[in-house]
């Protein structure tokens, strides 16, 4: 808080603090110690400091909330634009596929227009392997299967909560996290 004196009349304004939120919190802890040293009595100076740091805390929390809100708005707009980009990409892919099918149907490998040259080429890389209709990966011999092992966390949680001690050396149930709600 800044005090400006003009024409012998003091005017108080709130200046944006550059102190971090945690530094403000530490100042509150120091003020608490100072109050305890004065046996709980609030001197005028302590009262001014307390008011100043309450204002700084309020301003800082307000600024945090403002930034959270703005960043969430930006993220929302980014998601909206990403959805539009995906839609346009899908439209472009559909047009390319339609053009390729047309050229293949016409038996034409290459066409030149005033602005573009369009050609149908063969893909490189490994030859694709497809399973016949009705054949599942489990039907293949084991040598041609990939097995992925994954923890069944729902069953583990249930067993750990029922205090099956042999599992305690392998896993544990953590604490639920917390979240912040800004309204």
pLDDT in tens, 54-69: 999 999 999 999 999 9
Domain-embedded: residue 172 = no
Evaluate if residue 154 carries a pLDDT over 50.
yes
Whether the per-residue pLDDT at 94 is higher than 90: the answer is yes
Reported as a pLDDT band with limits 50, 70 and 90, residue 13 is very low
* 17 confidence band (pLDDT: 50, 70, 90): low
User: Is residue 177 situated within a structural domain?
Assistant: no
* 31 found inside a domain: yes
In the chain, how many domains are there? Answer: 1
Residue 130 has pLDDT above 80, yes or no: yes
- Note the pLDDT tens digit of each residue in 101-121: 999 999 999 999 999 999 999
Provide the β-strand partners of residue 10: 5
Query: In this model, does residue 1 exceed pLDDT 80?
Result: no
Asked whether residue 45 is assigned to any structural domain, the reply reads yes
The reply to whether 131 falls in a domain is no
- Give the span between the Cα atoms of 53 and 42, in whole angstroms: 15
- Answer yes or no: is 62 within a domain: yes
105 occurs within a structural domain: yes
In-domain check, residue 135: no
Q: What are phi and psi of 117, to 5 degrees?
A: -120, 125
Domain around 23: 2-121
Residues across the chain: 183
Confidence of residue 93 (pLDDT cuts 50, 70, 90): very high
Distance CA 39, CA 131 (A): 82
> The tokens of 109 are what?
């490998």
Structure-token pair, residue 171:
């896993």
């Amino acid at each position: 808080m800044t005090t400006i004196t003009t024409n012998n009349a003091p005017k108080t304004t709130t200046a944006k603090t550059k102190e971090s939120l945690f530094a403000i919190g530490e100042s509150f802890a120091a003020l608490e110690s100072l109050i305890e040293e004065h046996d709980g009595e609030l001197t005028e100076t302590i009262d001014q400091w307390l008011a100043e740091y309450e204002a700084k805390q309020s301003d800082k929390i307000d600024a945090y909330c403002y930034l959270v809100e703005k960043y969430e708005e930006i993220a929302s707009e980014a998601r909206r634009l990403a959805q539009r980009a995906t839609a346009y990409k899908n439209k472009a892919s559909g047009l390319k596929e339609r053009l390729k099918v047309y050229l293949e149907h016409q038996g034409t490998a290459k066409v030149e227009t005033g602005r573009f040259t369009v050609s149908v080429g063969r893909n490189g890389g490994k030859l694709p392997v497809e399973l016949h209709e009705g054949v599942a990966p489990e039907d293949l011999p084991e040598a041609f299967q990939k097995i992925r092992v994954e923890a069944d966390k729902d069953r583990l949680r249930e067993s750990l909560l029922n205090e099956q001690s042999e599992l305690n050396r392998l896993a544990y149930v953590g604490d639920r996290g917390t979240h912040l709600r800004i309204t």
